[in-house]
Amino acid sequence: MELYNLKHPSQVVSFTQALKQGLGKDRGLFFPTSIPVLDDVDSLLALPFVARCQKILGAWLASELGQDTVDRLVEKAFNFELSLAKVDDNRHCLELFHGPTLAFKDFGARFMAQCLNELAADDKINILTATSGDTGAAVADAFFGLDKIKVVVLYPKGKISLLQEKMFTTLGDNIHTVAVESDFDACQALVKRAFEDSDIRDGLHLNSANSINISRLLAQICYYFEAVAQFKRQHDQDPVISVPSGNFGNLTAGLFAQAMGLPVKRFIAATNSNDTVPRYLEKGDWLPNATVGTMSNAMDVAEPSNWPRVEAIIEKMNWSLADISGVALSEADTSTALKQLNDAGYLSEPHAAIAAQALNMTMTPGEKGIFLGTAHPAKFKDVVDRELGMNLPLPPELAAVADKAILSVTLDNSFAELKAHLFKVL
């Protein structure tokens, strides 16, 4: 597999190089030189999940890694279920929260961890990543206890739910967590600046584990195929898919799946009040506002770093950005959407509620759709309890960390402070 740097197309790397490096020159994202198109998608959709994932990822990676290696990586990474739950006659939720940290990020983080463990076993690896909530837990769980890999996770202090925070800040060992006195965009900017600093990047053998790493995006392609496979068993039509969107890695993976041949009628990019992309799709001007804190905090991203990949896919496939619907919901609309789902008999959380409402707002008569359930409702217990007037019980994964002490250090939004901290702990 060959990938090139979107900012510097002359920089071409293999998958293994992109996996280890994370970002290219000048923080450029790596993008595949070609997108494999799958033969006989109908037969592929009939396969069991793991077997199908092995074929999907083999189409990308077997030429470099060998199919046997791909099969082994997939089998180790994807060892939990996912289900398509019917909400009403026209909408289904793809529940992506049945993994160890109860969020969709488990798919990408676990596959990346298996890849690094296999392909960089003799290298010293230090991972620096930023999270707006669920990435931190998924990455920490996936890499916890691996001898040759250390992880530093930055997150915006006070801007993620307490239970989200405790899932990755209570581990210790090779997992180091930093609460930054700012928002997620500032955390992301610190990570990107660290990759520009040769002392840190080269001296600490730095890598990134958020959705800028191509290994995570490839893994996420797989669950779109599973969504459509389950949908097609019930409906003889192609679904509209609504994606709750923050950093836009999820939508990028969905578009890769469609480019590979997955039958999807269209995608909806659903956001909260941080509506840079819906405004851009409507008016054509890229004008990020300051990040706004919302109850759907994992989507509190004003400058999504994966958007250049979205546009690169559109260009490569000769599609139009007009084919993507952009929907932004206010806090009041999010609250209403969450209550409407509950009234329909489906308990959810604010991110999925936004995607569900976006389906309602944009589906035309005769269309049916899927929205992505990216996290277990209990990860947002404070919001769900407040908005729905309940006391949501904790699943075992969250109950186990609820009373544990947070081990994070707190830093100002200062690159100098971060640099000194990295050299101290890595």
Mind listing the pLDDT tens digit for each residue in 249-279? Answer: 999 999 999 999 999 999 999 999 999 999 9
Tokens representing 186 are 């500032």
Same domain? 297 vs 363: yes
Same domain? 254 vs 162: no
Same domain? 188 vs 225: no
CB-hemisphere CA count at 13 Å for 221? 27
Q: Is residue 379 part of a domain?
A: yes
Same domain? 142 vs 269: no
pLDDT of 123 > 80? The answer is: no
Mind listing the pLDDT tens digit for each residue in 370-410? Answer: 999 999 999 999 999 999 999 999 999 999 999 999 999 99
For residues 356-368, average pLDDT: 96
CB-hemisphere CA count at 13 Å for 114? 20
Quote the pLDDT of residue 154: 96
Same domain? 415 vs 311: no
Q: Is residue 225 part of a domain?
A: yes
Q: Cα(64)–Cα(111) distance, rounded to whole angstroms?
A: 16
CB 11 within 8 A of CB 5: yes
Tokens representing 2 are 């060959």
For residues 163-178, average pLDDT: 94
Helix axes 381-388, 331-343, angle to 10 degrees: 80
Helix axes 350-362, 331-343, angle to 10 degrees: 90
**Residue found under tokens 């040759």:** 148
Name the percent of the chain lying above pLDDT 90: 86
pLDDT tier for residue 186 given thresholds of 50, 70 and 90 = very high
Q: Is residue 18 part of a domain?
A: no
Mind listing the pLDDT tens digit for each residue in 32-57? Answer: 999 999 999 999 999 999 999 999 99
Number of domains in the chain: 2
Same domain? 179 vs 237: no
Quote the pLDDT of residue 121: 65
Q: Is residue 109 part of a domain?
A: no
Mind listing the pLDDT tens digit for each residue in 201-244? Answer: 889 988 877 678 999 999 999 999 999 999 999 999 999 999 99
